[in-house]
Structures are given as structure tokens and as C-alpha cells.
Structure 1
Amino acid sequence: MLLCLSSLLLGACGTDLEVASELESPCPDEGCASISNELLGPSVPREISHVSYTSKPAFTVSWSFSLSLNGPVTYELYEQRGNGAWQMRYRGLGRSFGVTGRTSGVYRYRVRGCNSVGCGGYRTGSQMIVNLPPDMKLYSQLPFLAAHDQQNAQYASTQVGFRSDLAELSATSSSSAGDGLFYLGQGFDLLLDAYSQFCLNNVHPDFRVKKVPVGSSSMSINLSTSTTHLFSLLDVSMSGALSFEDGGYRGELAGGKARVIHQVTDIYQKLIVLRWSYEAESWSLETPIEQLKPEFVDLLSLRDANQQKWFRARCGDKYVNSLTQGAKLYMVFRFDGKRFSAQESESAALSLEANLKTSLNANGTSQVSAQTRELLEKLNVSVEAYSVGGDPLTLAGISQFNFDSVFQAFVNSVKPANHRVVTQTLRDYEIPLSLSNYSYFQIFTNYNPMLQNLKNWILLDIQRDARCDLLKSYGQWTEDCLKGHQDLQTAKTACMNANFWNECRHPSVYETPGPDAPNPGVIPEGENLFSWLGTRIHQLEKNTRSQYKSYHIVDNGIFDKDCEPISASVCLPEAECVIDTLSG
């Protein structure tokens, strides 16, 4: 599914939530700024940085140094919450401070340097959002969970645990005792793309785990035709795990999240994805007829919305029913389509796809022709590689010149000691026998509307990021890009957290909550986010293609395509929509 945006591009300053703010100083050029003013004290720090959106109460604010001709510099860091007064949070010689204990809200920080003469001017950062998920207090609501924790820990101690980059271990996933492992039968939260807790009756004698050897390999090489297709080729779920946290959109992301995030940075890049997989063994689960522990059956029998949310918070939406262990390799071949016309770019991509298919084999062998080498060089193809299992050190230094030998080295490196989970199957919880007269979502929480809205927001945010990279290269970025980016994250958070689900709405009807809401944003309350983005973030003018093709070509792409009726309710009705047919 593709969502088209207004021709007033939904851009942003890039997607890092790590914000570095620089304001104009009385002495803007570096040479002048390097001289401390003896009457005013130290120079203004050139930069202050912090996350711009976080779901945690603690984070770090850091800043660059102030130059001083009058002794050492003492720094003063001030904090403002909403429109309140500035409060000093730190005074000392350091150039970073760990902020703790923040509650949900919109914050801003500023810093200045002081010496024996006085204090210099402030460097003020952009607004940032702290949005803490409400605590459901499950252990006070469900006292039997403490006993379940003991049962789950005992179960984990007797079973094989698995490592995976397919998803994260959530805060409630304590059955693995903090060892980074998950287990068959564990719950799974589809919105967070994270493992939850055990809720199946794993002490029942009919609860059994089976292992079967496989020993097969496979490979595919495909041109990515859209953002959603890229997610599929890289085996990444579109979920809240792709949302922007302290690490930043392109920061320290685990496994598969990094694979896709690194590849959506420019809408004019052509991507061919090689996916090689080796399945060594398959593991599956057999469960008793009455799957759930009796206490959860009693809880669901109440058929109360709050109890259903408690069950979901503990147990997730589905459970892990089977998996395969082995190794996977992803190679992404990329070239810049901006150097060519749309027709030339598409033709070159198809030719590269065909050449690569004849160059590599699933058994690890390769034979790259001189024609393929010439094409790789002509297109100036770059190659990135990501692995699940195997030896990641074999991927170091990969390029268009050695990708075939790197491929062979990785395939040869795979052995039982470095196997990881490469696929997993999730299954719905069975309806308890005593509730068999009810439909599934009369018993369990219906997560589907929230998941669909979340995917809408994620696709829009990815498009915004990719398009803004182009805008930024033309010097068109404004701080409204960052504000829109932050409120998009707020919209996604509303879909990820059950306590905010009444605010999880389709993008066509969503209104910004404002800075004072429990789920806060930086844009004033009551704005239609689409309209706000469309009027505040402007597009580049169309250009006529030059025969020289030595610069960014912006016509024949996102700027002059009609809005295709893929999802009419997502296209802004009051503006001309555009579709980038080069990247989907």
C-alpha cells in the first residue's frame, strides 16, 4: 500500500530525533566567533543537542564549548516546560548533563558559559517531547502475575531459548531473566513488534516443543518497487518498532530495523535486494486444547474492555508458534536515479537485476561477467550488507568490486554456533472453550484498526523523510519540518499505546493534541496535521531536465505526477496529490 501526499511536500529536516540547534550569534562567522568578548564573558556555545522525542523520563543534553580569555568556563543549563519559567538544572564545568525524572510534556533547553568576567549569550535548543506511556499497574490489577513469573522462569530454565533480530524483547518480557532470549509460546505485540510474556499453559503435559532438521538454502534477487515492497524484501514488519526513539531514526537500531531505515533515505535511489537464507532446523509448538492458563481464562470471561487490555498488555496479540534457525544475508545494491531520466533509470535497474541473478547462486558460488562489472561501474553502484546469524565480520568492506567473494565468504561462515532465528510464525490465541459462543474480537482486543492507522503514519513519515532529504539538499529546510516530524510520532504513539487508542485515528481526520495533552505534541491543539504540513512545508519548483544530468533532477518524479487513487481518504482533498513512480 502506498499513501500519496500533498504536492506541498510533507518534508522534514531528516529523521534523526537527535536535535542539534544552532542560532545566529552577533558574530556568525567562525573566525570572529573564536574570539571571546572580554566584556561579555565566554562565547556562545555553537551547539546544544538532545533527543527531540522520547518515551523515557531520562535523557542527556550536551553542548559544545565556549571560548574564554578570562579563565575556565562554567556552564549553566536551563530548562523550560511548556511556556513556563526557565529553571536552572545544571551549573558546572561539564558539557553534558543527564536529565532525569521528566514527566510527559514539551521541553526546551538553553545553555551559556560564564567566567570571571561574566556570562555569555545563550544557545537555545529546539522543542522536545517527553511522552511517557501510562502505567497500567498490571501487578496490582492482576496479583496472580507474580506466581506466573515464577512458573515462566522455571519453564525458561528447562527449554531452549532463541536469539532473534526479528523483534525486540519488551519491558514485560521477563521470562528470559534478562538473558536476551525468547521462547516458543511467548506472546507477541504486533504494534510494538516485540515479544511479550507467556500466557499459554506451559505447565500442562500436552504443552510440547518439537525440533526437525531442515538443511536447505534459497536465494532471491529483486528490484524494490515501493516502500512496502522494500519492507517485504528486507523481512521487516511495519510497526511501532520503527518509530523514532532516543537513538534517532537512523541511529542505533536493532537488526532488521536498521536494514530498512538505512535504505529509505532518498526517493530517487534504485535498490536491488539480494536475500539469501539457510534454514538449518525447524522448531514448533504443540499446545493443549485449553491453551491459556486458567487465570487468564477467568479474566477474559468477564468480557470487559479493561480486562481485555490488561490481557493484551501482558500477553500481546498473538504467540510464537514455530520458528526456523539458520542464517540470512541481505545485500542491497544501490545507484542514484537522479543521474538519469526516469526511463533510463528504470531500464538500468532492470538490467542490473537480471545481471545479478546470473552472477550468484544459492549454494554460495558466483561468476560475475565482465558485462556485469562494467554495468556496476557505469551506474556507480554501492553495496551494503546485513546479516542474521553467520559471521558478520565477513561483510566488512563490501563493495561493487568484491561483493561476490564476500557473498561466498559469508555462506561458508555459517555454522551451528552462529545460527539465529531467521523466520517465525505467529498464531492467534485460541478462544477458551467456555467462551466458544463468542467471536474472536468479542473476547480479545481488536488491534487491527490501530495497526492499520499506525502503518499509515509510518508510511507517511518515511515518505516525509525521504522527500525532505531532497528538500534539504536544496536548502529548503525549516523548523516546521521538525515540528511536523515530532507530531507524526505523537500520532503513532497514540496507536501503539492502548491507553491512547481513543486518539488513534486515520490521518484524514486526525487533529493535533497540543503541548498540554497527555499524549503531547508541539503543534497547537486542534490542527489537522495534513493541512498544517501542506501549508507550512513547501515544495521545490519544477525544473526542466538538462541534457547534462550532472545535478539533482526534480522533474519527471514526485513533482509532476497525478494523484493515483490508491487510498483516496489519505490523499489531501484540498491539494493536488503526487506519486513518485520511481520509488513508489
Structure 2
Amino acid sequence: MRKIKILSVASVIPAIWMAGMHMASAAELQPSRSELGNQATPQIIEPCIEELASQDTSPTTQLIPIGDCDGGGGGGGGGPYRAPSIPASISYAPYTNSKSVKVSWAASNGYGFSVRYELYERKNYGAWTQVYNGYSRSRTLTNRGAGKYSYRVRAANTAYQSSYKTGGLAVVNPRQDDNLYADYPTAMQAMDQKNLQYRASTVGAKTVLARAKAVGQSSAMTNNEDRFYLGDGFDLVRGTLKETCLDVTNPGFVITKTPPLQPSTFDISYVNDNRQLAELLEVSQSAQIGFTGDDFSLGLSGEKERYVKSVTDESHVRFVVKVNNRREFWKLNTPTDALYPELVSQVLSPNDDEAKADFRERCGDNFINSANLGSALYLVFTFDAKKYSYEERESAKAELGLKIGDVFSANGSAGSSSSLTEVLDRLEVKINADQVGGPVGLAASITPANVMTKYNQFVQDTNPANWAAVDYTTNLYQRPTTYNAYTHEQIFAKYTGNQGPLAQMKRWLDLSVQHKERCDPWAEYGQTRPTQCGTSEAEISIAMDLCRETREWANCLHPFQYYTGSLTTTNPGTYLLGWLSSNVKKLNEATKSQSYNHHVHRGSLQVNDGTCLASSLCFTNKFRGSGPGIGKGYSVYTGYYDNPKGGGRSYTVSPKHCARTQVYLKTGNPPFGDTTADWNYTVEVEGLCPITENFLVIP
């Protein structure tokens, strides 16, 4: 039922609804001008419509009272009299290889009235098209084809609309999913049945590795995704589990379980850079994550996730404490002809690139042939050193490292230390904790206040019921004997070699980490992230996808050889590595010191000094400064100040790369007043400036 409000400057005349009467139209209810005098024309107030679905096609709706919408109720005495505020932000991934784009935006201020949002989309710089009109603040748009998309949003009420908030480019590059179940239905179904029987009769182990889902696969095969089984395939480039392709029914397929060769390890290390961090957190080389949309859309494996949470720029100090308790070693022995016969007879074919790609899609590059079961705990102690000088940073780093070493010992226990707690509090240390196996959920509850207690609890409460695979090894698939006349590369897709797709992928992944190190700090310093960060992320993602997809391996190139293709945010044929180095700037610490000597004799002077960093692209460091400039990036050291009749001193940052000092100096009037006024002082500005620096490519 619709509601009708008749609004005036002084009052609201409610519409009267009577049972049994027909509902009058808006025209019938409108009073004549003689009856209303100066009253406003009646306004129909629609109820809020809130979506029940997040898709962009014919959402189901429900009616919600007007007061439940974003921005509140009807405002009381009329209106609305102004437009809602512009949404402060709009966000979406700069790249995706799926067909979906999720767009989110910040809330608008409705000034007491409900706020509705209008979302518009543009493809390949064409016309803007409205794709959403409603009260939610996010929208998932599906079935998007390949291309470059932009989005903008504005807020509206019943009378006005705000201006638009527009985002950057989003590159949609849908991957072509192969449906092996359509190409080899008999073989796939037969192998699935054997694998289900294998999983039902064999004890699997918990794992943090993600399992890739295949198109056309039944839901029964994707149950227990957090477990792996010896013999499972492994995609080295993506770092994901694949299906078991070894013949689990062969009598030569045997699993042995023995005590581990190295029962436990303990380590405390200072983190020099993010490459070392990946090693310390025992992230498999294939899974050293790139910070792109594809990595996140896949669903992060646990080892990737613990890495992502602790990657920072060089302004952070990090220590890693890890304990690894290995309790049992599992080893797989395989027969000479280890592969399923269905794969050999129906999929594999010598010197056939399509057959190689199909096999890899199903089975990955290698198979898991051994694993240590037990538990592992990883603690990353991090503090932000932006507010410290170099000397202060080194002193704090040494102090923290010493205290951690005093408390955590190689015998797998942690002592009690109030001095460590004091240091953690004073340095505002954060702890990212992750676990493999052990007491469920314990890592999530670790804080600086309870880290010693929780650490000991983890070690003591690990038992066979909560073991997981703490490390594993993989092995190459062996050629079937029927293909002994052929080389391994003639049967299987080759990922190895210094110029192979795995090596190239590692190079691109490392570039994506360098990219994150350059782009993330802008927001931390309160600055707007450059648009080049979004476009460059998309470009790196496009290059990486060429290494992920087997059928694109011919185009998986070394960064020194890669030029952009037709789908690009720059120009086709651009040398990407050079473009990255020129356009994705690195923030570099910068300082400026300047002294001033102002003197007035029998008169006045308006002082307005600006102490500025070298470029208008620089900005002051909000984490530094002292005195009036603490938390603003500057310090003022006054040598002498005498101002008999003038005003007080003021200090501001204006523009963003300058510390501005102002005062009105005025002398007294002789013979009774001081005839001079002085201000002698020095300003030191600490800030950051974007500089051009080459991206480094690993050998």
C-alpha cells in the first residue's frame, strides 16, 4: 500500500485511510490551491525496497519501513531540502579472471532522510548504463564478458541526487574452464568412484592447502576440502591440490607410517624482507602469493594466508617465532605403472599439447608422495617503526629481539616475562598467529597479553586427534611403460627450467609483492592511493594468468621480454617492466631543515614562512614530528622569541609538503614599550617523496 504525505513549511497533514473505501489517487487527494494557500504539492513517499539477492537480474524484494533504510526516517517537518553527500569511496578489484565483479561503496549522509544508491557501469569507455538502483551498498555483477569496465555511484533521495563517485578501471578477463567431464565422461566418472572409495578407506590428513574444483565435478568429490590424501595431484604454479590420478587399486600403491626423521624444530628469526618471510613461514615456493584478484578469488590456502597477513613495507620490524612438532611420517610407494589406466588410454597422447593440458587440469604437475603429521605454530611479531628515527628503530629492534629470545626456548616452551609484555605494549607490537594442526582455533585467540600462555598450551595440547600435515614433498609423474620410447616432456606439460612457467610465475609473483610494498603505504600515511597502483595490478595479473593456464604457456614470458597485449590498461605493445618502474613510484623518506631570523625595530611584521620538501608530490610524515608538529611531520626549535605587542604563533601543514609557521610580530611604543620584536627559529620537516626506482627481477 502506498503512503501519501502532504508537506508544508509548518506542518504535515496526514492522509486518512478508511476501511472499505477505495484508495484514492494522488490527484484526487490533492487539495486546491485555495485550500492549501502556500502549502506544498502533496508528495508520494515510496517505501524502501531492500534486496534479498545480490545479483543484477530481477532481485526479489521486500518492503521495509522507511525508518529502516540507510539515513533514517522522514526528517519530521518536511523535506528533503538537500542532496545526500557524495559516497566517500567506491571499490572493486582492478582485475578478475572470473565473469563477476563485486562493487562496494561507502555510505552517504542522508541528513535525516533515506538514501538510495544508483550504480552505473561503462565498458570499454562506452556509454554509462545504470545497473543498480536501491538501498544496498554493494553489488555483485555477473556474466561480464572480457573488457575494461568502470563504475560510478551516486546517492539520491526523493528530491535530489549527489554528484558521482567514480572508480578506476577493472579488467575482466574470464578464464576458459575446460569441462573434462564432458570430454572424457567415462574416464572421469570411473576415476571419481575409485577415489571416493580410496578416501572412504584411508585416513586423510588435515591440510592448509586449497583444493581446486573442476568444472562438471560432483559435489561428493569436493567434500572434506580441508583434507588431503597421499597421491593427490598438486598444481605447482597455482599451489593447489588436484585429484588423485594414481591407481589406488594397484597392489603396489602402499602407504607406510614411521616416526619422523626430525621430530621437532624451533626457530626465532628477524625478517629482512618479504622473500625471507615466505621462507620463514614455510610457504611452498609455488604458493608464494601474488597480490592479485585471482589469488583471492581462488580462496587462499592457509600457507598463503599466513604470508599475506604479515607482508609489509620496509618501515615495519618483524620477528618470526615458529615451532614445528612432527609426530608421524607418511610415505607413499607406487608401482611402475602408477597412473590410472583410464588416463593412459583416453587422455594421454605423445606430443599432443591438448592432451598435456587436459592431464594437467585433472592431475596437476606432481603428486604428493610424503608428509609429516603433527602441528606447527607461527608467530609474527610486528611493530610499525614509522615514528622512529633510524637509531631509535635499531634500538627497539634489538630490544624486542632480545626479549623474545629470553622468553621462547628451543625446548618448546615459553617462560613468563613481564618485561616482554612491557616491551610489546610500549612498541605497540601486533602478533599475527597461524597454526597447522594442534588445538582448534587457538592461534586466533593469541594476543600480546597472552602469547606465552597460549604458546605453551599449543605445544602441550597437540595430540593425534588434531594432527595435520605440517610439511610435504611432491614427486614427478612417471611415464607409463607403454610410452617408454618417449621422453617425459613428450607426454607431460613441462613446467621446469629457468625459463619455464613455474620460474616465470615466481618472477611475476615477486614483482606483485614489490608492487604491494610500493602501493600499500600511501593509505597508511593518509594519502590517496595513486591510480597507477590499480592499473599496474591489473597488468601484472594479466601476465600471471598467462603462466597459470597451460594452453597459454607459450605466452608466459620473462618480465624482461613481456609487452602488453590487446587487453591492457595502458597501450598495446607497452614494455611492462619499464612502465612499472616509471609509473609505480616508491615512497622515500625525505627531510628539509631551514632556519629563520626575523627582527623588527619600531614596527610590525607578518611572518608567514613555509618550509617545504623538494616537490609538491611529497607530503609530511604524520607519524613524525615534535612539539607543535607532533603527529604532523615537523619540529620547531626556537632560539629566541620576543613579541611585545604581537599575536600568538600558529603552525600548520599547508600545502601537504610544507610546514607553515606564522606570527604577527609587533614592537611596543617608546618610551614605555620594547622597541624590538624577534623570532629566531629552525624548522625541520620529515616526510616522504615518490621516487622512480626500478623493479627488481629475480634471476
2:189 aligns to what? 146
User: Is the CA contact (8 Å cut-off) linking 1:328 and 1:387 kept in structure 2?
Assistant: yes
Pairs aligned (count): 529
- Measured in 2, the distance between the counterparts of 1:391 and 1:247 equals 31
Confirm or deny that 1:442 pairs with 2:490: yes
Q: Taking structure 1 as reference, are residues 141 and 47 closer, same or farther at Cα in structure 2, changes over 3 Å only? A: same
- Measured in 2, the distance between the counterparts of 1:561 and 1:45 equals 33
User: Is the CA contact (8 Å cut-off) linking 1:267 and 1:467 kept in structure 2?
Assistant: no
Q: Which sits farther off after the overlay, 188-197 or 348-357? A: 348-357
Q: Which sits farther off after the overlay, 113-122 or 419-428? A: 113-122
**Which residue of the other structure, out of 187, 198, 209, is the alignment partner of 2:255?**
209
Confirm or deny that 1:477 pairs with 2:529: yes
Gap runs ≥5 in structure 2 = 1-74, 594-623, 635-684
Confirm or deny that 1:495 pairs with 2:544: no
**Which residues in structure 2 correspond to 1:356-367 (within 5 Å)?**
356-367=404-415
**Which residues in structure 2 correspond to 1:37-116 (within 5 Å)?**
42-67=84-109, 72-116=114-158
- Measured in 2, the distance between the counterparts of 1:412 and 1:54 equals 44
Confirm or deny that 1:428 pairs with 2:479: no
1:323 aligns to what? 371
User: Is the CA contact (8 Å cut-off) linking 1:250 and 1:262 kept in structure 2?
Assistant: no
- Measured in 2, the distance between the counterparts of 1:150 and 1:367 equals 52
Q: Which sits farther off after the overlay, 524-533 or 473-482? A: 473-482
User: Is the CA contact (8 Å cut-off) linking 1:46 and 1:123 kept in structure 2?
Assistant: yes
Q: Taking structure 1 as reference, are residues 394 and 73 closer, same or farther at Cα in structure 2, changes over 3 Å only? A: closer
What SS does the aligned partner of 2:535 have?
Answer: helix
User: Is the CA contact (8 Å cut-off) linking 1:75 and 1:91 kept in structure 2?
Assistant: yes
Which amino acid letter does the alignment assign opposite residue 207 of structure 1?
Answer: F
Q: Taking structure 1 as reference, are residues 73 and 541 closer, same or farther at Cα in structure 2, changes over 3 Å only? A: closer
What displacement does 1:111 show?
2.6
Q: Which sits farther off after the overlay, 342-351 or 220-229? A: 342-351
Confirm or deny that 1:410 pairs with 2:472: no
- Measured in 2, the distance between the counterparts of 1:545 and 1:397 equals 44
What SS does the aligned partner of 2:168 have?
Answer: coil
Q: Any idea what the Cα deviations from partners look like across 1:27-81, whole Å, max 9, x if unmatched?
A: xxxxxxx9x9968755433333333322322343333445557975543322222
**Which residues in structure 2 correspond to 1:128-143 (within 5 Å)?**
128-143=170-185
1:6 aligns to what? none
Confirm or deny that 1:232 pairs with 2:284: no
1:574 aligns to what? none
User: Is the CA contact (8 Å cut-off) linking 1:243 and 1:249 kept in structure 2?
Assistant: no
User: Is the CA contact (8 Å cut-off) linking 1:74 and 1:92 kept in structure 2?
Assistant: yes
What is the percent sequence identity of the aligned residues? 32
What displacement does 1:107 show?
1.5
Q: Any idea what the Cα deviations from partners look like across 1:93-116, whole Å, max 9, x if unmatched?
A: 443333121222222222334444
User: Is the CA contact (8 Å cut-off) linking 1:270 and 1:337 kept in structure 2?
Assistant: yes
User: Is the CA contact (8 Å cut-off) linking 1:450 and 1:501 kept in structure 2?
Assistant: yes
Q: Taking structure 1 as reference, are residues 191 and 563 closer, same or farther at Cα in structure 2, changes over 3 Å only? A: closer
What displacement does 1:433 show?
1.9
Which amino acid letter does the alignment assign opposite residue 415 of structure 1?
Answer: N
Confirm or deny that 1:307 pairs with 2:355: yes
- Measured in 2, the distance between the counterparts of 1:103 and 1:121 equals 28
User: Is the CA contact (8 Å cut-off) linking 2:84 and 2:161 kept in structure 1?
Assistant: yes
Q: CA RMSD in A?
A: 3.9
- Measured in 2, the distance between the counterparts of 1:462 and 1:268 equals 15
What displacement does 1:190 show?
0.5
Confirm or deny that 1:266 pairs with 2:313: yes
What displacement does 1:393 show?
4.4
User: Is the CA contact (8 Å cut-off) linking 1:73 and 1:93 kept in structure 2?
Assistant: yes
**Which residue of the other structure, out of 174, 179, 186, is the alignment partner of 2:224?**
179
2:206 aligns to what? 163
- Measured in 2, the distance between the counterparts of 1:441 and 1:99 equals 42
Confirm or deny that 1:525 pairs with 2:576: no
- Measured in 2, the distance between the counterparts of 1:388 and 1:246 equals 25
Q: Taking structure 1 as reference, are residues 267 and 67 closer, same or farther at Cα in structure 2, changes over 3 Å only? A: closer
Q: Taking structure 1 as reference, are residues 101 and 380 closer, same or farther at Cα in structure 2, changes over 3 Å only? A: closer
**Which residue of the other structure, out of 242, 245, 249, is the alignment partner of 1:196?**
242
User: Is the CA contact (8 Å cut-off) linking 2:323 and 2:412 kept in structure 1?
Assistant: no
Q: Taking structure 1 as reference, are residues 115 and 305 closer, same or farther at Cα in structure 2, changes over 3 Å only? A: same
Task: Compute the TM-score of the two structures, normalised by the length of structure 1.
Answer: 0.79
- Measured in 2, the distance between the counterparts of 1:350 and 1:541 equals 24
Q: Any idea what the Cα deviations from partners look like across 1:508-554, whole Å, max 9, x if unmatched?
A: 2211224xx3xxx4223221122222333345565259998988899
- Measured in 2, the distance between the counterparts of 1:303 and 1:234 equals 39
Instruction: Choose between structure 1 and 2 for higher RCO, CA contacts under 8 A separated by at least 6 residues.
Output: 1
Q: Which sits farther off after the overlay, 177-186 or 538-547? A: 538-547
User: Is the CA contact (8 Å cut-off) linking 1:292 and 1:432 kept in structure 2?
Assistant: yes
User: Is the CA contact (8 Å cut-off) linking 1:199 and 1:293 kept in structure 2?
Assistant: yes
Q: Which sits farther off after the overlay, 118-127 or 546-555? A: 546-555
Which amino acid letter does the alignment assign opposite residue 309 of structure 2?
Answer: H
Which amino acid letter does the alignment assign opposite residue 492 of structure 2?
Answer: F
Task: Compute the TM-score of the two structures, normalised by the length of structure 2.
Answer: 0.67
Which amino acid letter does the alignment assign opposite residue 176 of structure 2?
Answer: P
User: Is the CA contact (8 Å cut-off) linking 1:53 and 1:244 kept in structure 2?
Assistant: no
1:511 aligns to what? 563
1:20 aligns to what? none
- Measured in 1, the distance between the counterparts of 2:406 and 2:80 equals 70
What displacement does 1:432 show?
2.0
- Measured in 1, the distance between the counterparts of 2:384 and 2:81 equals 52
User: Is the CA contact (8 Å cut-off) linking 2:590 and 2:689 kept in structure 1?
Assistant: no
User: Is the CA contact (8 Å cut-off) linking 2:152 and 2:166 kept in structure 1?
Assistant: yes
- Measured in 1, the distance between the counterparts of 2:116 and 2:231 equals 55
Which amino acid letter does the alignment assign opposite residue 529 of structure 1?
Answer: L
Q: Taking structure 1 as reference, are residues 277 and 545 closer, same or farther at Cα in structure 2, changes over 3 Å only? A: farther
What SS does the aligned partner of 2:92 have?
Answer: strand
Q: Taking structure 1 as reference, are residues 132 and 239 closer, same or farther at Cα in structure 2, changes over 3 Å only? A: farther
Which amino acid letter does the alignment assign opposite residue 551 of structure 2?
Answer: N
Q: Taking structure 1 as reference, are residues 107 and 567 closer, same or farther at Cα in structure 2, changes over 3 Å only? A: closer
Q: Taking structure 1 as reference, are residues 252 and 340 closer, same or farther at Cα in structure 2, changes over 3 Å only? A: farther
User: Is the CA contact (8 Å cut-off) linking 1:277 and 1:327 kept in structure 2?
Assistant: yes
The structure richer in strand per residue is 2
**Which residues in structure 2 correspond to 1:534-573 (within 5 Å)?**
534-540=581-587, 543-544=590-591
User: Is the CA contact (8 Å cut-off) linking 2:234 and 2:366 kept in structure 1?
Assistant: yes
- Measured in 2, the distance between the counterparts of 1:340 and 1:290 equals 62
Q: Taking structure 1 as reference, are residues 267 and 249 closer, same or farther at Cα in structure 2, changes over 3 Å only? A: farther
Largest Rg, 1 or 2: 2
- Measured in 2, the distance between the counterparts of 1:140 and 1:251 equals 23
Q: Taking structure 1 as reference, are residues 332 and 250 closer, same or farther at Cα in structure 2, changes over 3 Å only? A: farther
Q: Which sits farther off after the overlay, 256-265 or 89-98? A: 89-98
- Measured in 1, the distance between the counterparts of 2:409 and 2:168 equals 51
What displacement does 1:234 show?
0.2
Q: Taking structure 1 as reference, are residues 128 and 185 closer, same or farther at Cα in structure 2, changes over 3 Å only? A: same
- Measured in 2, the distance between the counterparts of 1:341 and 1:289 equals 63
